[in-house]
Structure formats: structure tokens, C-alpha cells
Amino acid sequence: MAGPQLEDGYTRVANEILEQVAMRKFNGIQLRMLLIVWRYTYGFNRKSAELSATFLATALRSDLSGTKKELKKLLDMNVLKVFRQAQGKHGRMIGFNKYSVQWLVGCNPPPQPSEDDELTGGGLHPLLVDNHTPQEGDNRPPKKESINKTIKKGEIDLPSIHEEIISYLNEKTGKNYNFKVKTTKDFINGRISEGRTVEDFKNVIDIKCSHWLNDPKMSQYLRPATLFRPSNFDNYLNQEPTEQEGDSPGQLTREQRLNYDDAIREWVMKGNDPADFRFDTND
């Protein structure tokens, strides 16, 4: 019997991505989730896909609550990102963030040379040596309180984060704010130093757009100085978005929600692409 064949499909992942992921402190389910995300994005030659927590749990053969927890962690660490929020009957589009300099997850320290290596002069292959200086005695991922120190060390690419956040704001509002403006950068840096993530900024933008975008009086406040101000940001982040007519799954009944979960699980188990799944509430 023939084994797996490239002709039946394959996933292209850059070697640098594999090396960066291998040296980071991901747990087992997070690594497995990255494999599934790659499979259904890069495996279909695209950057993002509608990958719900239900679909991921099915693909991982894992419980839904644990999957949701680890998915949120990968989003908070900026390893996965939301390319498009849920719109109507379409779920949110998520994908892999290939820019490892933006990841908020620590590296494993390089192995210490053994006593035999010290005696014989042996060493590691130069390609396998980690250039980062490990924090002595601490193998945990960086805590949110330490993000300000990470920024000062230049390990986070702030200009690209500024650009991503403001580009998202401009896309959602139809405006043209400049991410290089000093006050805008200061607002973003301040929230990042408090432990906020790019996903938090996008959530604030989405929430306030649902409240203000169609209000001529309030839409003028969809600007960095209002949204990212320290006295507003946390409050906005914890507000509920206003549901638009026709949104899904917010308007599904409990029975429809269960039917939806069963239907997409059966769809995926048959080997279908989750992005092609459509749910008819009239069935």
C-alpha cells in the first residue's frame, strides 16, 4: 500500500519558521494547534481561514474548553492573529503570524556543554547555537509585567506593531491615520508596556466601531487619541460589541448552536475545507 504522496497535497512552511517555533516555549497542544493552522492555511496556499474553536478541537481530538484556552493564549502571544473578525454568517479568519520578532513567547535556553565537551573541546554545531542571552534560572515565558523590559531590549518590532494596529484602524473606519505620529506611537507603546497585545487593540477597534461607526456624531472619536488613551482603553476592551442585523452565531438558538457544532464536525471529519462550510438555519 502506497504511503502519503505529495501529489495528494502538502504544506509549505519556511525553514526559519520551523526553527523559531522549535526553540520557543510552546506546550504540546499549542504546537499541535500550529500544525493544524498551517495545514488549513498554508496547506491551501492561503494566509488565513475560518478556523473556529470547534473545528480546532475536532482536528486535535481535544476538549473544546481546553482548545479555546490555548487558542486564546496563541492569539495573546501574537503567534496567531485575526485577519478578519466574524461578519454575518462567516466566522473570524485566523492565521499564523510569521514575524517571530513580534511573538510574546520566550525562547528555550541553549543546552549547556557537557563535561566531556569541555575536556575534549567539543561543541555544538554553529547553526544550532541560540544567539539570545537566556535569563538565568528562569525557563518560563515572559510575563506581561516584563514586556516593557523586552521592548527596551528591542526584541519586539514596535514599528511593525504600530503599522499593523493603525492600518487595521484605517481599514475599519475608512480613515487615514499615520502610524509614525509620535503621540499615536506613545499611546500604543504605553498600552503594550502594560501587557496589552495587538489582538487587544483590534478588539477595542472592533467594539467601538460597532458602537460609533454609523453614528455621525460619535464616529469622529474613532481615533488613536480616544481609543488608546489609558483612561479609556481598559473600559472599551471590556465592553460588549453591538450586534449588527444578521450577525452569526450570535442569533443562533441553543439548539441551532448544537446543530452547527455537529454539522461542522461532520464536515471536517469527511476531509472537507472548513472555509467552504455553510450552515443553513432552516434545516
The rounded average pLDDT for each run of 10 residues, N- to C-terminus, in the chain (283 residues) is: 78 91 91 94 89 88 88 92 82 89 79 55 46 44 42 56 90 90 91 88 91 85 92 89 52 61 69 64 59
Q: Quick one: pLDDT at residue 135?
A: 44
Which residue segment(s) compose the domain that 23 sits in? 10-102
Note whether 234 and 254 are same-domain residues.
no
Note whether 97 and 70 are same-domain residues.
yes
Q: Quick one: pLDDT at residue 111?
A: 64
Q: Quick one: pLDDT at residue 141?
A: 45
Note whether 253 and 196 are same-domain residues.
no
In a domain, 122, yes or no: no
Q: Tell the residue number behind the cell numbers 455621525, with chain if given.
A: 216
Q: Quick one: pLDDT at residue 134?
A: 43
Q: Quick one: pLDDT at residue 268?
A: 67
Closest CA to 279 of 262, 270, 271: 262
In a domain, 156, yes or no: no
Distance CA 277, CA 126 (A): 47
Q: Quick one: pLDDT at residue 132?
A: 47
CATH of the domain at 31: 1.10.10.10
DSSP 55-109: HHHHHHT--HHHHHHHHHHHHHTTSEEEEE--BTTB--EEEE---GGG---PBPP
Helix (H, G, I), strand (E, B) or coil at 48: strand
In a domain, 201, yes or no: yes
pTM of the entire predicted model = 0.45
Closest CA to 239 of 214, 215, 264, 212: 212
